């Protein structure tokens, strides 16, 4: 019997860091601030929601850095949950990742990219044909060697970091009519905990992606060293950029202008770039969204590959191309699901569904850190969560509160995540429980 080709460790430290940064920075930083401002009523509470989401995401990134260094193989959270709670919980995560989180993210990025390109090209910004074409092209790119996808991710990430840094710098120091007093405006006061939770949920879409690199850990070189460094330092870098950009928005524009803006980044850039801002920012935002989409495709396909390798999904999903050494069937199926998602809902509906489905399991993964520390206290760990056990406990508690708030404020989105999880549980017990590996 011929031996199945295996994945290769071809992602170096720069590619690993680019996956973290490039997957986190997508479309949210350009669009979500305006949505949040409509709820908040003041710049202070918008910035507080961004800071809260950033701190919560950082706590999660620290827990994933420890787990990723412990289990440097394909699958990421699927592997973590399987090790912590057993194969059933791992399967439920993979089910949600396969059916909602990854294709939903890819579709949202494709829709966002099309919207941005509509500002500079003669295309309909709501064109689903263009969004589908983007998904198809980058799906095919990710069927090539993982080194190719990693190189493309590095280039795209470098371009967008420079562009976003330029946006922040221009808004802070060269905006025509800029006013620092707007940054500290308290407006009508605290909007209430439910509203604040909804704002945090919106911001979490912009931070989502710090969890992606461990999915491709089986292809990272020297993973005990490179994986934690990429996750932690990449996340910190993104959080700093987001803080500067959001302060820049409120410095450059009056609050009402931010709240009513269809593209707050473009409106901000117009204060120091004039008539050239629309084309430049549209290009920057398109590159940013494409980079995040590429990173999601590269990492997300490794989850169904890992599950199929364990016998908990159709074996064909574990097929690795002989030459490229990538899970080509998983990549193609993932792209097909994303094309279907493009036909559904709007941008905000897609992204909120992705965030809710993902956070169902982020909190549980923090619990994996606690469980493994108790079960195997003497096990060698290349990276340890600082502030243990406070950091993972706080993360778990806040993740739970966020989910409860989302069920209350966004029942449709919550119902989609919960019903999909319940369906996954039925499928697992009906088809795979007897064959699962412990």
At residue 11, the 3 state secondary structure works out as strand
Q: Looking at the predicted structure, is the pLDDT value of residue 276 above 80?
A: no
Instruction: Give the CA radius of gyration of the chain.
Output: 21
What is the pLDDT at residue 301? 93
What is the pLDDT at residue 226? 93
Contact by Cβ (8 Å): 125, 205: no
Phi/psi class of residue 375: alpha, beta or left (left: φ > 0; alpha: ψ in -120 to 50)? alpha
Q: Looking at the predicted structure, is the pLDDT value of residue 2 above 60?
A: no
Of 150-154, 242-246, 415-419, the one with minimum mean pLDDT is 415-419
Highest-scoring range by mean pLDDT, 269-273, 383-387, 422-426: 383-387
Averaged pLDDT of the chain: 87
Contact by Cβ (8 Å): 244, 32: no
Report the sign of the C-alpha dihedral through residues 217, 220, 221, 223, in that order: negative
pTM: 0.87
| pLDDT (tens digit per residue) in 326-360 | 999 999 999 999 999 888 765 556 566 667 777 88
Could you tell me which of 186, 200, 181 has the C-alpha nearest to residue 359?
Answer: 200
Could you tell me which of 183, 276, 204 has the C-alpha nearest to residue 29?
Answer: 204
What is the pLDDT at residue 438? 46
Of 16-30, 91-105, 217-231, 273-287, the one with minimum mean pLDDT is 273-287
Q: Looking at the predicted structure, is the pLDDT value of residue 202 above 50?
A: yes
Q: Looking at the predicted structure, is the pLDDT value of residue 150 above 80?
A: yes
User: Could you tell me the CA-to-CA distances from 50 to 28, 46, 226, 406, 408 in Å, in that order?
Assistant: 11, 6, 28, 17, 21
- Assign a CATH topology to domain 13-435: Amino acid/polyamine transporter I (1.20.1740)
Q: Looking at the predicted structure, is the pLDDT value of residue 1 above 60?
A: no
Contact by Cβ (8 Å): 100, 413: no
Enumerate the domain spans of the chain: 13-435
Of 65-79, 106-120, 256-270, 338-352, the one with minimum mean pLDDT is 338-352
| pLDDT (tens digit per residue) in 110-141 | 988 888 888 777 888 888 899 999 999 999 99
Rounded average pLDDT over 420-436: 84
Return d(Cα 102, Cα 108) in angstroms, integer.
10
Return d(Cα 34, Cα 252) in angstroms, integer.
14
What is the pLDDT at residue 195? 85
User: Could you tell me the CA-to-CA distances from 279 to 30, 63, 120, 266 in Å, in that order?
Assistant: 14, 40, 5, 9
Torsion of CA 104, 55, 93, 82, to 10 degrees: 150
């Amino acid at each position: 019997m011929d031996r199945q080709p295996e994945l290769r460790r071809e992602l170096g430290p720069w590619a690993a860091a680019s996956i973290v940064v490039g997957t986190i920075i997508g479309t949210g930083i350009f669009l979500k601030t305006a949505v949040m401002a409509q709820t908040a009523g003041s710049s202070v509470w918008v910035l507080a929601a961004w800071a809260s989401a950033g701190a919560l995401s950082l706590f999660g990134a620290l827990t994933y850095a420890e787990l990723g260094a412990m289990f440097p193989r394909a699958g990421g959270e699927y592997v973590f949950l399987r090790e912590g709670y057993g194969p059933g919980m791992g399967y439920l995560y993979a089910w949600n990742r396969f059916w909602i989180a990854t294709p939903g993210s890819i579709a949202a990025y494709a829709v966002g990219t099309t919207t941005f390109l509509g500002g500079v090209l003669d295309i309909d910004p709501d064109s689903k044909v263009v969004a589908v074409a983007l998904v198809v092209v980058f799906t095919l790119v990710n069927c090539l060697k993982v080194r190719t996808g990693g190189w493309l991710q590095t280039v795209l990430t470098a371009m967008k970091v420079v562009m976003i840094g330029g946006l922040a710098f221009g808004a802070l120091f060269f905006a025509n009519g800029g006013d620092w007093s707007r940054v500290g405006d308290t407006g009508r006061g605290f909007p209430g905990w439910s509203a604040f939770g909804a704002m945090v949920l919106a911001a979490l879409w912009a931070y989502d992606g710090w969890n992606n690199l461990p999915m491709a850990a089986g292809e990272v070189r020297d993973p005990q060293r490179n994986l934690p460094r990429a996750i932690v330092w990449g996340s910190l870098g993104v959080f700093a950029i987001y803080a500067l950009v959001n302060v820049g928005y409120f410095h450059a524009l009056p609050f009402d202008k931010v709240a009513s803006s269809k593209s707050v980044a473009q409106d901000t850039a117009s204060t120091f770039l004039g008539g050239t801002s629309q084309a430049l920012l549209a290009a920057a935002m398109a590159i940013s969204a494409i980079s995040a989409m590429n990173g999601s495709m590269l990492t997300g396909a490794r989850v169904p590959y890992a599950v199929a390798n364990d016998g908990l999904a159709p074996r064909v999903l574990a097929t690795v191309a002989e030459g490229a050494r990538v899970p080509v069937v998983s990549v193609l199926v993932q792209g097909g699901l994303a094309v279907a998602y493009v036909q559904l809902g709007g941008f905000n509906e897609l992204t909120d569904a992705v965030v809710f489905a993902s956070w169902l399991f982020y909190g549980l993964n923090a619990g994996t850190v606690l469980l493994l520390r108790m079960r195997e206290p003497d096990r060698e760990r290349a990276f340890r969560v600082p502030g243990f056990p406070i950091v993972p406990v706080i993360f778990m508690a806040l993740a739970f509160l966020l989910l409860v708030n989302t069920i209350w404020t966004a029942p449709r989105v919550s119902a989609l995540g919960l019903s999909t999880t319940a369906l996954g549980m039925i499928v697992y017990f009906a088809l795979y429980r007897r064959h699962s590996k412990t």
